[in-house]
């Protein structure tokens, strides 16, 4: 009886952990979701440096409108695979919004992050998918996580204004074009 009860409790705990893990993942791409990101952000030691990539799929609404949401879902999934392929195991890859992804790169300097972003951009383009625009920012240049996200977001939108399919790096006072 004790062994049976122990197995039942163990299984219930395992099921709860699995459900909790699933609640932190995006059901379409299998990537972490914002909820997981916020858990990680709460644990970030502000004294440790990290870089952040904000990735947006170019002309995604047009793709959905012209080819349908099923094709849009397929592109989202394939681009998420490209992003993961270009990332390291310690990087946190998150589906941040509809067609936006965020990559948190712990202990990564801005030059390395920009190079990784360029690898992602090239891989997505080489797959013949939609292109992506990527903004890059680093924690040591900003007061908190929200400011880093805002800096990456500004760089990403500038990349879109300057023609899309490019990586821009926020340097707080200047923003440089890589491609």
CA 49 to chain centre: 17
Three-state secondary-structure class, residue 167:
strand
CA distance 109 to 92: 15
Residue 111 among the catalytic residues: no
CA 130 to chain centre: 17
Q: Contact at 8 Å (CB) between 52 and 105?
A: yes
Q: Contact at 8 Å (CB) between 41 and 56?
A: no
Q: What are the backbone angles phi and psi of residue 174, rounded to the nearest 5°?
A: -135, 155
Q: Among the options 18, 39, 43, 99, which is catalytic?
A: 99
- Element holding 122 (H helix, E strand): helix 110-126
Q: Active-site residues: which are they?
A: 99
């Amino acid at each position: 009886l004790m062994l049976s009860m122990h197995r039942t409790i163990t299984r219930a705990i395992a099921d709860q952990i699995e459900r909790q893990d699933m609640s932190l993942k995006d059901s379409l791409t299998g990537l972490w979701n914002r909820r997981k990101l916020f858990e990680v952000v709460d644990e970030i030691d502000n004294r440790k440096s990290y870089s952040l990539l904000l990735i947006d799929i170019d002309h995604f609404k047009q793709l959905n409108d012209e080819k349908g949401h099923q094709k849009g879902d397929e592109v989202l999934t394939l681009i998420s695979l490209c992003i993961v392929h270009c990332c390291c195991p310690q990087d946190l890859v998150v589906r941040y919004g509809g067609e936006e992804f965020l990559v948190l790169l712990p202990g990564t300097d801005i030059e390395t992050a920009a190079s990784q972003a360029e690898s992602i951009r090239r891989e997505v383009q080489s797959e013949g998918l939609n292109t992506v625009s990527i903004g890059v920012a680093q924690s040591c240049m900003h007061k908190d996580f929200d400011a880093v996200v805002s800096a990456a977001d500004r760089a990403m939108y500038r990349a879109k204004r300057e023609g899309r399919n490019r990586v821009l790096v926020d340097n707080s006072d200047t923003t440089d074009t890589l491609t």
